[in-house]
Amino acid sequence: MNILNGLTPISVWSFFETICQIPRPSKHEEKIISFLMDFAQQHDLPVKKDSAGNVLISKQASKGMEGRRTLVLQSHLDMVCEKNAGTIHNFDADPIKPYIDGEWVTADGTTLGADCGIGIAAQLAILSADTLKHGPIECLFTVDEETGLTGANALEPGFFSGRGLINLDSEDEGELFIGCAGGMDTVATIHYEEVTTPDGLFPIKIGILGLLGGHSGDDINKNRGNAIKVLNRFLWHLTQKYEICIADFTGGNLRNAIAREAFATVLVPGSSKEQITVDFNIFRSVIEAEILLNEPNIMLLLESTEQPKFVIDKSSQLRLLNALYACPHGVLAMSARMPGLVETSTNLASVKFKMENTIEITTSQRSDLESGKQDAAYMVESVFKMVDADVRHGEGYPGWVPNPSSELLNITRLSYTKLFEVEPIVRSIHAGLECGLFLEKFPGLDMISFGPTLRGVHSPDEKINIQTVDKFWRLLVEVIAQY
């Protein structure tokens, strides 16, 4: 494509554009794995792959650096696959279409995959370079980070040998991360009876779209709207005034993304459709007044649609709407130990009608505290148990406890100050990183995480700041030379 020609560092952007051509949805990373195996063979580099699909490519030290310690560079292979309504894109087959938009690189109607494609690109640039100074390097590429950290969880002892690790999955240039939240998923299933659509009802489709969405960790404290909560609020109020029936309710997509869009097919009394339109316009004004500053592109749509054959039974409809209204979403607690950092949160991620007359509601909880994570999950569970839903919790993943005495942190901080004549910010992050699992499996592992600036991650608004990629690369090169 050569869309990103002329951007520096040339090698990083070239590899990133190549990666954009390779489909890599979570749990379907076969094509990018094959690319990495071929890359290692072409560059005569030792490579191995474990049973989960994790890949490790090694590179010997540059001349004169043979006595240095081995440093691990790590990123994940999968990407979040989100697209705008109306965008035609098959993430299993179609390439991502990046383009330059001023100071940023973004994609056409889909997620860009800079999370964590830019980390992969930087590793490939390190592995292919023959002029850099560095000790022994191990580049670790893990699978399925976005939907469960499966690859990190499956790592076996001894898969890599380095005792220092740089995670390349952070999104704020100038900030060095030394800790992250742990997380887990809670999924509720509501069973319903299928009822033949009653006579005399008029079908309408209600949609909430245009929201910013974003990362359920990094963006959860930005007061962004949740399309599921907004749509459910209107439907709940409709049930207080009218005899309506719901045929479908679909909202959100991924557990680690704030719901950007939600749609419902609703049947309303024909005699009341004009008044319901008035109610909808009033509701739209109320919602816009509440969140328009944070959600400038929000759209609320009401239109006629085809008559469905079936609707859900009234009891299940009320159980669904009541549970979604009561289900918490957003920040639950701020950190007292690290002011300004979210300590505990929960994300109402998706609602989907499934096979066998079931509705599946997916939520995710995060916390710096193991007890906070569990408490948030049990809070969500209690809401859905009150409406007789089946509830199950995922295994979750541990947090990464900060180590302010980290040698790797000290090297990176000094390198940043030397290069850019300003002190970097050192902090923890509310998003989940694989580092907590690495630390469980490799006790004593010294770790740090940094990267360029990304915005709109986990949404089609995802973009990466061009200038910060150069700073990210320069810092990475300096740290591997000093380690």
Angle CA(94)–CA(99)–CA(100) in degrees, nearest 5?
Answer: 165
Q: How far apart are CA 256 and CA 285, in angstroms?
A: 29
Sign of CA dihedral 373, 378, 384, 388: positive
145 is catalytic: yes
Q: Residues 29, 78, 138, 218: which is the catalytic one?
A: 78
Tell me the residue ranges of DSSP E strands in 339-437.
342-354, 358-367, 390-393, 425-429
Rounded to the nearest angstrom, the gap between the alpha carbon of residue 252 and the centroid of all alpha carbons in its chain is 12
Residues 335-338: contacts with CB under 8 Å, at least 24 apart: 335/368, 337/368, 338/368, 338/427, 338/428
Q: Residues 29, 82, 138, 145: which is the catalytic one?
A: 145
Q: How far apart are CA 171 and CA 165, in angstroms?
A: 17
List Cα–Cα distances, 63 to 131, 239, 481, in angstroms: 10, 73, 12
Contact between 143 and 135 (Cβ < 8 Å):
no
Number of neighbouring beta carbons within 10 Å of residue 27: 13
Contact between 45 and 123 (Cβ < 8 Å):
no
Q: Angle 314-326/370-385 helices, nearest 10 degrees? A: 150
461 is catalytic: no
Contact between 334 and 341 (Cβ < 8 Å):
yes
Q: Is 94 helix (H, G, I), strand (E, B) or coil?
A: coil
Q: How far apart are CA 441 and CA 443, in angstroms?
A: 6
- Looking up tokens 């030792």 gives 46
Active site members: 78, 145
